[in-house]
Amino acid sequence: MQKIEHIGIAVRNITESNKLFAKLLNTEHYKMEEVESEGVVTSFFQIGDVKIELLQATKESSAIHSFIEKKGEGMHHIAFAVEDVNIELARLKAAGFDAIHHEAKDGADGKVIAFLHPKSTHSVLTEICSDKDVSK
């Protein structure tokens, strides 16, 4: 693992949440992007070397919709930057971690991603990510 890449926060209304986090962080979001395969729209704030990713569900079948229905708005996941998602995923699976994804898939902000199941990480949903041009 190289660093914390971003912290994901599930929100009901991304427009209102962008306003709140702009005030809180004293900076505007730099990008909004829809990830259709995950049923979310995302918004990113850069704070030093770490990003804050707001996630709003775009359909009821998305994991973010389910999360908010069960737990309400709040911290959803922590993402770690890695050199290559597929290599790191293989290492983590060999070390006994349960994976939600078995290979890298496209994510937001120019990344490929994979998630580890929270049951193997003390209830912390953990994402690993790398730049799309690295993990293919």
Average pLDDT, stretch 73-95?
A: 97
31 CB contacts (<8 Å, ≥6 apart)?
Answer: 42, 43, 44, 109
For the chain, domain boundaries: 3-131
Edge-to-edge strand order for the sheet containing 50-57?
31-35, 40-47, 50-57, 3-10, 74-81, 126-131, 111-116, 105-106
What fold does the segment set 3-131 form as a domain? Answer: 2,3-Dihydroxybiphenyl 1,2-Dioxygenase; domain 1 (3.10.180)
Q: Indicate whether 67 pLDDT > 90.
A: yes
Task: Please determine, for residue 135, whether its predicted confidence score (pLDDT) is greater than 90.
Answer: no
- Does residue 136 surpass a pLDDT of 60? no
Higher-confidence residue of 134 and 130: namely 130
Q: What is the pTM of this model?
A: 0.92
Looking at residue 134, its pLDDT comes to 57
Of the pLDDT bands very low, low, confident and very high (cuts 50, 70, 90), residue 100 is very high
pLDDT tens by residue, 26-54: 999 999 999 999 999 999 999 999 999 99
CA atoms within 13 A on the CB side of 76: 26
Q: Comparing C-alpha atoms, which of 109, 111, 103, 11 is closest to residue 57?
A: 11
The percentage of the chain sitting over the pLDDT mark of 70, rounded to a whole number, equals 98
Mean pLDDT score of the chain: 95
**Residue 10 reports pLDDT greater than 70:** yes
